[in-house]
Structure formats: C-alpha cells, structure tokens
Chain A
Amino acid sequence: MTGVNDDVPGGRELLRVEGVTKSFPGVRALDGVDLSLRTGEVHVLLGENGAGKSTLIKMLSGAHRPDGGRILVDGRPGPKPGGQPTPRTSGQSDPKTGGQPDPKPNTRPGIQDGAYEREGRGEREGGAEGGGESAALREVQIRSAQDAERLGIATIYQEFNLVPGLTVAENIFLGRQPRTALGLVDKKTMYARAAELLARVRLDVSPRTPVGELGIARLQMVEIAKALSLEARVLIMDEPTAVLTSEEVETLFTIVRELRDAGVGIIFITHHLEEIGALGDRVTVLRDGRSVAEVPASTDEDELIRLMVGRDITEQYPRRRPDEPDEPEEPGAPLLRVRGLTRNGAVAGVPVFADIDFEVRAGEVVGLAGLVGAGRTEVARAVFGVDRYDAGTVEIDGAQLARGDVRAAMRAGLGLVPEDRKGQGLVLDASLQDNLTLARLDRDTRGGLVDRSAQRRSAAAVAEQLKVRMSGLAQPARTLSGGNQQKLVIGKWLLADTRLLILDEPTRGIDVGAKVEIYQLINELTASGRAVLMISSDLPEVLGMSDRVLVMSQGRLAGELSADEATQDAVMELALQPPGGNPTSSDSNTSSDTHTSTDTNTNTSNDANESAMEGSDVR
C-alpha cells in the first residue's frame, strides 16, 4: 500500500473497506482489499477486467457478502437537506466498533452520537496520517440492495436497471412512488419531483417519456436521477462513460463534479485513463483481487498502467507494419472490393450509407473511422450479409457475394466481430467450446452428426493460442471477463478459417492488458496473410493499428488516409466534412460536438446509440 492520508481531498471519511476477502468455490475473487472514500471525493477504482472491481462493488451494493474483513460506513445523515434516515446497522456493530480495537495502528475508539458535530468541522486539520479515522464510522453488514439503499449507497451498473415500458418518473421512483392519503400513487408529486431531478442532471426530457424511447446516454442520466432521488451519499458508477460520446461524457463529468461538490462520495470505475486526471481525486488500483496502491489522480498514465498490470506496457499499439524491409511483393489483388454500396434510409434522400467504395488487401489492417452514426457499423453488416443493401456490389477475390447471405459471406472468407459482444457475438450461457465452434458447426458435421471430439480439439487449440483465461472448455461464456469474451468471438472466426475479419469496436470495454493481446492477435492475423477491417471510435487505436484509414461521414466515405497522413486532426477533419460539401443545419451541430472529442478524448464516442445521428442526446 502506498501512503495515503497526506493531502487527501474531500471531507470526512464516508466509507471504508478493510481487508475484505471473498472466495467463490475454487477461486479467491478478493484477497484483501482496502478502500477509503471521503465526502466530496471522486475515487477512481482502476484495474484490469477480472481484478475484482465488480465483486467489490457488488459487495457494497449488497449483491455479495464478504467472507472476511470489514465494511464501515459513516453513521451520520446524508449531505442533503431533507433527511436521510440513520443507516440501520446490524445489531452487533455498534458495541463492536466501540469496544474492539481496530486493526489499524492509529485508531481512536469509536465515539457515538456526540462526535458528530465536532467531526464535521475539525476534519481538514486532522487530515494527517490516521486523522481521517472518523469516529462516526460503524461496521455494517450489507445483506441486500435495501440495506445498501438505507446506508445511502447507490450503484449505477453498466447494464441499466430500468423498465422500458414505464415513464422516466415511474422508473425514478420505482417501488417508492409518493402516495396520496388513499394509498394511490400521487402522480402530481411524482412528476413534479422527477422534473426537479431531471433538471439537476440537465436531462431535457419530459418525466412522462417512456424510458424505452430514450437513447443510452439519457438512460444513464435517468439512472443518476434515480440515485439522486435516493439521496445517496455514496454513488458507485461502473464504467459510466463506456457508452457515451465525448460531449455526453463532458455533461456527465459536470454532473459528477456537482455531486462531488455537494458532498457525495463517488466511486468511479473507468478504463479510460485520461478520465482519471480529468475527474478523479484519488485512485485505488486493484490487481488480482488485492488493492495494490492508492495514488493521487494526477499520477501519470504509464505509472497507472504499470500498477494495474504489474508490468510495463512498452508498446500500446504494437502494429508491425510490413512496410519498409519486406515489401518485395506488390500488395496483391484486393481480397475485398466494395463498389458503390448504398442503402436507402427511411427518409427519402437520406441514405443510411451511399456510394461506398473501398478495397482491403491481404495482410492489411484498414481502419474505418468516423463519428457515431456515420454508418460504419451499417456498412460492415451489409458487407457481411447481415443487412440488405439497395445498390452496389461486394466482391471477394473478384467474385460477387450474394446480398443478405451471411453463409455466403462466411464461405467466401469473411467474419464479423460485432460491436455488441454479449448481444450479438456470444451465446452467453453456452460453453466456451460451443461458442468457439459455432461458426464451423457445419464443417464439423458429417452425415448430420457433429464431431464433438474434433470440436473439442479445435476449441482447445484456439483457446490456447489466444490465451483465454478459463477453468475449462465447458465453462459458460457468461463467466468470462470482457477481454476473454472478445477473444472467444475472435477465436470463433479463426476456427472458421476467416481470411478477412471485420472487427467492430474490438476493444470497447476491455482492459489495457487484453487490448494489447488483441492488437498482437491482429498482427498475427495479418502476418499470416489475412486482412482486418477495423471499425473503432478509439482514434489512437485506429491510428496506431491501421495501415490505411477510411473515414466515413454521414453515410459517405469522406476520404482515405495512409498511415503516414493519418493524424487525429486529419481524421477528424474528414469525419466532420459534410457530404458533398453541402452543409446543412445539422452539420454545424455535429461539428461542435466533435471538437470536444479531439481535445479531450476520442475513446468515448461509439456506435451503440445508433439514433445519435444528430449528435448528442443530453443537454
């Protein structure tokens, strides 16, 4: 553990986790985790997938219970007026905290109620080592989500807990609707209060809007409003920026800062290192179920990566370009040739994409960059035969592919790793073996019977090759971490002898270590003469990995850049270019969005919210 308490930001200690351990049968998920959260602090929880972050936050939100160690929560009312009920602690905890010596050296015995007022003021000055040890901390048992709620701990998971058919207000107050004297739901009060909360999160929608009509960014804001309605003192956010565009991220940060300034303690999980400096105060790094360091958020990124993975990542984008030494053979005939590909949209004159021309040659990595909603994913799906297109041709080795026929595309050597790994890439409850061999099921079938042992052999070989971290091939895909799940999807196509792999956001939501493994895999693929078409909203990734970059803007190919020409500025300039040099009103809107993205970070925009054509959802 790195020394902690000097100059810690924020106020008094709100929450402390001490030496918490948690084992699942056969595995130690948490092996001694310490964490301390203060009021008015954004505390970043950093770690590779599988380091134990999820287990830890599930413990704080009542989904898991620790095997060992303690969780202590400040016993005072929440920061907001309006009153937070005193947290219910388990019966044993009060006397225990009072009487039992704390394992830490500088412990003062717990002082009960009388300490409250004094603590609140004398906080900062006592900020030296051990001084933050708040007398008001009490050990608690969080057995359920209700316990967590009572303690003022709210969690926003990556998968939202919202009911699509209910309105925004009904979702915010789900199960806690204000009642009239007759016991009926007091709609007037509910909608009025919801409107206030929505204003606080700057969400410009009616509280009567059904949640199902909202885009992903707005859903996130609804979740935050819900957490606000709980008057949470501790807000846990699990990768909230993973699905947001740059502007949405800025809005989110503004709201998070406001909450912080209002005294809420925020535990913030992110894989985007640049967000740490922008938002965080302190960082706790988890590795292999242990908290290995607590450092200030100003720590530089290389150091954070080193702490996270336990080693230096020298080359983040290890693309080996076949350029200088061994370029005797002129790049061969194109493997994939797309000509004039067009798909009409619902509105006449606004195609989903139009006149898309490009080629991909063997051994190449071609990046496909562009803003959210530029049509990149749609083009990829059309090429792979998932969706139909209205005009144009797709050729593999000069032979034209049938439209809308995935099987034909696969037979010709195409493979698609979709952006929605869980929803489209994997059969989550099926075994690793079944997932890995899914795309070659027909090839493993002889006379109607599937050769299961051949499947097992090939799955084992590819799992080994990709270094999938697993307990066995019979393990369900659901139980793997994101990076390992992505390896499964890629492995599926390796087993199907794919010659051109289309990767749609291949590293989204994947930790740094697994990212590098996937980049290396891309290198291996191209070294063996296969080709990769990579869609990515992560500009450094596109620039770092691509031999050529195609840039799409509003359904059209805005340009192509060689690896040398491709800079962030050049790509963004093309991405913002209005189609046919004929700017419409919506363009200026879009461009203002994306200048922020060049400045701050490029990681965050994404395609998931396809409806985000017009730019940002959140105001």
Chain B
Amino acid sequence: MSAEVKTGAAAEAVGRAPDGDGPGQWFSRAVLRNGPLGGLIALVVVMAVLSRDFLNGQNLLNVGVQASVTAILAFGVTFVIVSAGIDLSVGSVAGLSAIVVAWAATDQGLPVWTAVLLGLAVGAAAGLVSGALVAYGKLPAFIATLAMLSVGRGLALVISGGSPVPFPASVSRLGDTLGGWLPVPVLVMIAMGLIAALILARTYAGRAMFAIGGNEEAARLSGIHVKRRKLVIYALSGVFAAVAGIVLAARLTSAQPQAATGYELDAIAAVVIGGASLSGGSGKASGTLIGALILAVLRNGLNLLSVSAFWQQVATGLVIALAVLLDTLRRRSVR
C-alpha cells in the first residue's frame, strides 16, 4: 500500500547498499554491515598477523586490563550520550573518587567499605551537580561537565595535597588476579558492562534515556520527568566513573591526584566508536565495550610492534576518525 511504510522494511535490512556491485565493494560492504564488531575483528586479525606475541592468552588478558578503566568510564558516558548529552568530567571524577577512598581509609582510618561507599557517593554527587546544572540551570552539558572536570581535578589535588595517597590493601586486590591469572579489573569491567546493558535495555531509567535523547519534547509530553531523569543519568555516569577510578587506583595500589587525566576523551571515543550517536537516541553497552577494546587492542598491538608512543597517538586518532566515518556511511546507506 504505502511506499513510505515499506521503505521502513528497507531500513531494517541493515547496510544493504542499493548501488552497484563490484568486487572492490565486497569488502567495504562487509565492513559496513558489521560495524564496530567487524572493525574489532579486523584489527585483531591484522595485529595477530603482524605480531606473533599478540594472540597469546596472557597478552589478550592484558588487553582486557588495559581496556577496563576506559570501558567502565565509557559505560557511564554511554548513558549520557544516549540521552543526547555529553560528560567531560568522568576522568576527573574518577581521580577524585579514588583520592577520596584513599584519603578516607588511609588518612582518616575509616573502615574500608565505608571509604569505598564514600568514594562512590562522591562520584554520584559530582554527577548530580553536573546534572542539576544541565537540567535546572539549563547550561549546555559541554559547559557544565567541563566545569566539573576542572572542579573535580582541583578537589582531588586539594584533598591529596598534590601527592599520591596509598590505597588500602584490601581494595587494591581489585587490581590483582584471581587464581593467579584472571585479572579482577576485567571481571569488574564485565560486571559493569552487564549492569550498563541491563540499565539501558531493561530499566525505566534506560528507556527514558533513549526517549529523551531521541526527542526530549516528546518524552516530556509523554509524562517523563526529563529534569529528574537527567539528574539520574549524570549521577549514574558519576558512579561508573568512581568505580573506574577505584579500579585504576587498585591497579597502581595508590591514588594519584592526576590519575585518569584525559580519560574522558578515550571514554567518549569508545562510546562513539561503539556506534552511539552524539545527537542522542542510540547506543549500546556492547558497542561501547567493543569501542574500548578497539582502542586497547590498537595500543597493545602497536606497543608489541614497537611503534613509538608518538605515532601511536596518530594511529589512535586515525582509528577514531575511521570508525565513526564508517559508521556514518553505514547509517547513510541504511536510511
């Protein structure tokens, strides 16, 4: 009956490019169709071919450890980006939370679990402040979280007096391995990923994120308290950042005031590489995990290949651009 309706069916047939067929297009179509996961697999294959050491179990676990902090941060940022916001403060909030845990346990002698709860609460509080500035203060998310980036880092320096604080030993086990081989950060990453996936797909909070990111006005007119939801969204991002900060400090066995500086950019890159749109309304925890893994595989592989750190930065930038470019092309061919 109606063509517009049925073009919808077209839209579901992901990545079926209407235009011609050539041998050269097979590869690009294969990449386009499979998106981020295809990119990760391709990258792993390339690294495995180039470096004999890449595909061994120990190294792959290393990749997991390297990806963990970025991934946990990025899961939190996914919530924000799905709701059409942005959170630049997660690196600072991670650093601040770790410092608070260390300060409470080591300097103040509080019980470790209290210290950890305090750290998570500080993450949530930082998120609530950002969220309030965005929702009630009507600041652009970019500005509100940029301010929080600065404030969070500053507070971390104030509390620590600028020097590292030893991390309580019991919490530092989070940076160890189980049974001598399974790194706990990877487990934490997986757990946080499952939680993020659950939140996004199955909870009221998550479904509201998609509605707000897709069309804030329609969400509001459908009875969603958009402002309250935003508080929750940024608070969740803050809590995830706190967990990431604690894992990072556990690995280093000390909380550094400058820890996780700049990690917010990796986190945002992971989310976007994972297929989320910065204009909101789309995004997945699995995509974000893949995005973080792509960045980690790239760094690990280039290290194995003895590529200089300077060139690694260049390569990382290119991969980010390429990933998002391919994703844009994929979406366009679907539309």
Contacts and interface: CB of A to CB of B under 8 A. Distances in A.
Range of interface residues on chain B?
Answer: 35 or more
Contact of B10 (A26, A442, A445): A26
B3 interface: yes
B34 interface: no
A439 interface: yes
Nearest to A286: B3
B209 to A, nearest CB: 11
A54 B282 CA distance: 27
B40 interface: no
Given A427-B281, A439-B223, A470-B8, A49 B18 contact: no
Contacts of A289: 3
B3 A438 contact: no
Contacts of A428: 214-215
A29 B7 CA distance: 8
Contact of A25 (B5, B10, B201, B217): B10
Interface stretch (A7-15, A115-123, A361-369, A448-456): A448-456
Given A25-B13, A26-B13, 17 more contacts: A50-B2, A50-B4, A54-B4, A289-B3, A406-B223, A407-B223, A423-B215, A425-B218, A438-B222, A438-B224, A441-B211, A448-B205, A449-B202, A470-B5, A470-B8, A476-B11, A480-B4
Contacts of B206: 450
Contacts of A126: none
B223 A27 contact: no
Interface in B41-79: none
B218 A27 contact: no
A441 B220 contact: no
A597 B155 CA distance: 66
Nearest to B203: A448
Interface in B195-233: 201-208, 210-211, 214-215, 217-225
B207 A55 contact: no
Nearest to A468: B5
Interface string A449-476: 1101000000000000000011110111
Contacts of A25: 9-10, 13, 16, 18
Q: Which 10 A-B pairs have the closest CB atoms?
A: A50-B2, A27-B6, A479-B8, A427-B214, A29-B3, A24-B10, A471-B9, A475-B8, A26-B9, A445-B204
A425 B221 contact: yes
A471 B222 contact: no
Contacts of B203: 445, 448-450
B11 to A, nearest CB: 5
A434 B223 contact: no
Contacts of B7: 24, 27, 29, 479
Given A423-B217, A430-B210, A430-B214, A55 B3 contact: yes
A479 B4 contact: yes
B314 interface: no
A475 B223 CA distance: 23
Contacts of A49: 2, 4
Interface residues of A, number: 54
Contacts of B8: 470-471, 475-476, 479-480
Interface string B1-41: 11111111111110010100000000000000000000000
A384 B220 CA distance: 11
Given A24-B18, A406-B223, A429-B214, A450 B2 contact: no
A29 B218 contact: no
Contact of A27 (B10, B210, B211): B10
Nearest to A437: B207
Contacts of B210: 427, 430, 434
A450 to B, nearest CB: 6
Most buried by B among A27, A30, A416, A434: A27
A407 B218 contact: no
A428 B282 CA distance: 12
A424 interface: yes
Contacts of A29: 3, 6-7
A479 B4 CA distance: 6
B221 A441 contact: no
Given A25-B16, A27-B6, A427 B219 contact: yes
A292 interface: no
Contacts of B221: 384, 386, 406, 416, 418, 424-425
A484 B6 contact: no
B214 A484 contact: no
A479 B3 CA distance: 9
Contact of B5 (A407, A474, A481): A481
21 contacts: A26-B9, A28-B3, A48-B2, A50-B2, A50-B5, A288-B1, A406-B221, A407-B225, A424-B218, A425-B218, A427-B281, A441-B208, A445-B204, A450-B202, A471-B5, A475-B12, A476-B8, A476-B11, A479-B7, A481-B5, A492-B222
